[in-house]
Amino acid sequence: MFVSKELTLLLLAVYCLSHILSKQLPIRIIRLFSHWARWLTFACAFSLMLTFFEWSNRADWVHFISGLAAWFILETLYYKISIHMLNISEMDLFPKYKNDTNENLWPINKEVLKIKDLLSQEGFKEEETLKAEIIAHLVIRQAVFLDEARKVRLNVLFIPNAKNEIKLFYSLFSHRTSGEYLLTDNQNMPFGGYYPDHWTVNRYPISHSLKKLLKKHREAMSESEEEWSEVEGDIRTKTNRLQWELEKKNREMGFLNEPNREDKQQISSEGCFRIWIEMWLLAYFGKTLS
């Protein structure tokens, strides 16, 4: 038989193990294995169910593919509902940042100690702390650092999850003298939108290491023949300027609806479709839309 109980149980064990490890270890690729194992387990169980109850006399491989398709439909429905709830919510998709005076910013764990040691070794100094309220009682904070040459700006983002645990993400910015931006980050939240033409964006959602991200960013900087500018001026103002450019570009490209619509939907149907695609890419391939 193409599908057997032994194979289904093996896949189920792989799923359970990878799911548990993904909760305990900061290795994001394990989560990809978990998603694939869950999908394959469902397809195998679906095939066995059709055969056991004699609901279909077709070949096992047909049942298996049907199971894959059934899971695709179920997960797509879940994604669509999630996107719809986001779309009708009052969440600010491109929030404005304010200065933050909260001193209890960093979680207390071994990971944070390693990050602080790395920042010290690489010559980064904290310049400012910012915050943005996405919706009521949901605040994203970021600590802004500059390297010794003041040509690499690092944003350490502190984002609470559903369990109210603080997760850390990193964004690295550099600015060419010609006005172009280089952005390197490891955020794994689906965006689906567009970036301004003068932005070069490299996203690594699977990467957890700040050291590796910094290496990739500096390698991208070294490939450019143009000079890189020092970061000058008010950081909060510059951050909000980037947010404004991002929102402007996505309105021009039709990702966002015009404000003050009667149905209160912020994201267009095209934008919802792009977010849906990126959710699938992130969940099963650790990739984002280019």
Structure tokens at 157: 């983002």
- Lowest mean pLDDT across 4-8, 44-48, 61-65, 283-287: 4-8
The yes-or-no verdict on residue 73 having pLDDT over 90 is yes
Average of per-residue pLDDT across 15-20: 91
Q: Which of 195, 88, 118, 109 is nearest to 158 (CA)?
A: 109
Residue found under tokens 């021009």: 252
Looking at 177-219, which runs of residues are DSSP E strands? 181-185, 199-203
Q: How much is the pLDDT for 1?
A: 54
Give the tens place of pLDDT for each residue, 206-223: 988 899 999 999 999 998
Rounded to an integer, the average pLDDT of 195-213 is 92
- Domain borders along the chain are 5-88, 98-284
- 123 Rama sector, left if φ>0, alpha if ψ -120 to 50, beta otherwise: left
What would the two tokens of residue 83 be?
């996107």
What's the mean per-residue pLDDT of the chain?
88
* 131-144 average pLDDT score: 85
